[in-house]
Amino acid sequence: MKATEKSDVYSMGIVLMELVSGKLPTDAAFRGGIDMVRWVEMHINMKGTEREELIDPEAQTPLTL
């Protein structure tokens, strides 16, 4: 497989979602034909707390210094 600008952008998006969600593409949430992209698409249009599932709870906690 040859790397292209399009594949680089896709890969960067996956890395960003890993950082934001705290999930890896091999996470148990991505079973049954659902990958990280489909999982985000399913949650992005949801309301309230269901949408908050996209963000890692550890990232939502304020830092204490």
Q: Could you read off the pLDDT of 5-60 as tens digits, one per residue?
A: 999 999 999 999 999 999 988 888 888 888 888 888 888 888 878 788 888 888 87
pLDDT given at position 15 = 94
Is the pTM higher than 0.85?
no
Q: Which of 14, 19, 20, 28 is nearest to 53 (CA)?
A: 20
C-alpha distances out from residue 6 to 18, 27, 50, 60, Å: 19, 24, 30, 31
Q: Which of 32, 22, 9 is nearest to 54 (CA)?
A: 22
pLDDT given at position 13 = 92
